């Protein structure tokens, strides 16, 4: 996997792959940024799924932690991970049957696992989405509105671009 942050682009790795579970959790740095900027709904990556799956609300269901079997829930606990935070990739949601599918579920799962292990988003992308969500919240969910969003973005920009 790539670095959590690139000094020139402030690119943030989104996922941490958990090989014993064949599943993901949001990477710690991404989770902190997403939480602070208001990008967390019922999990921290719902909005990303919408982009991957035709830019609609169906995309929020690209992962499902509820499918984690009891024995893997225990493995997650043993790893110090809340089982409800574990995200299981559902390859069937990456095809719609209109002209295919061209690949098996196993091939789609392997492909998307590779993609997600390397997924890195710029702070600019996160900022744009945070501004969009914050404007929606201003009108529809005022309790979630962040009047200091730009200050929060400046904080993360300074932290991620600071010389090490």
pLDDT band, residue 5 (cuts 50/70/90)? very low
Share of the chain above pLDDT 70, in %: 92
Instruction: Name, in order, each residue with C-beta under 8 angstroms of 151's C-beta and a sequence gap of 6 or more.
Output: none
Pairwise CA distance, residues 108 & 79, whole Å: 27
Instruction: Name, in order, each residue with C-beta under 8 angstroms of 26's C-beta and a sequence gap of 6 or more.
Output: 14, 15, 16, 34, 43, 44, 45, 85, 87
Between residues 56 and 120, which one has the greater pLDDT?
A: 120
> Is 115 in contact with 94 (CB distance < 8 Å)?
no
Helices 123-140 and 149-161 sit at what angle, rounded to 10 degrees? 160
Comparing 3-7, 40-44, 102-106, 148-152, the range with the smallest average pLDDT is 3-7
pLDDT tens string 11-29? 999 999 999 999 999 999 9
pTM score: 0.87
């Amino acid at each position: 996997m790539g670095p959590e942050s690139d000094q020139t682009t402030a690119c943030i790795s989104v996922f941490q792959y958990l090989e014993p579970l064949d599943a993901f959790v949001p990477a710690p740095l991404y989770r902190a940024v997403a939480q602070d900027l208001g990008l967390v709904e019922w999990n921290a990556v719902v909005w990303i799924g919408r982009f991957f799956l035709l830019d609609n609300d169906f995309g929020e269901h690209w992962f499902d932690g509820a499918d984690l079997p009891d024995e893997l829930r225990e493995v997650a606990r043993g790893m110090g991970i809340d089982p409800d935070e574990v995200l299981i990739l559902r390859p069937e949601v990456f095809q719609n049957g209109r002209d295919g599918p061209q690949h098996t579920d196993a091939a789609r799962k392997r492909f998307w696992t590779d993609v997600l292990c390397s997924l890195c988003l710029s702070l600019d992308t996160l900022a744009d989405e945070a501004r969009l969500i914050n404007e929606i919240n201003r009108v529809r969910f005022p309790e979630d509105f962040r009047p200091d969003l730009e200050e929060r973005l400046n904080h993360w920009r300074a932290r991620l671009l600071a010389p090490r």
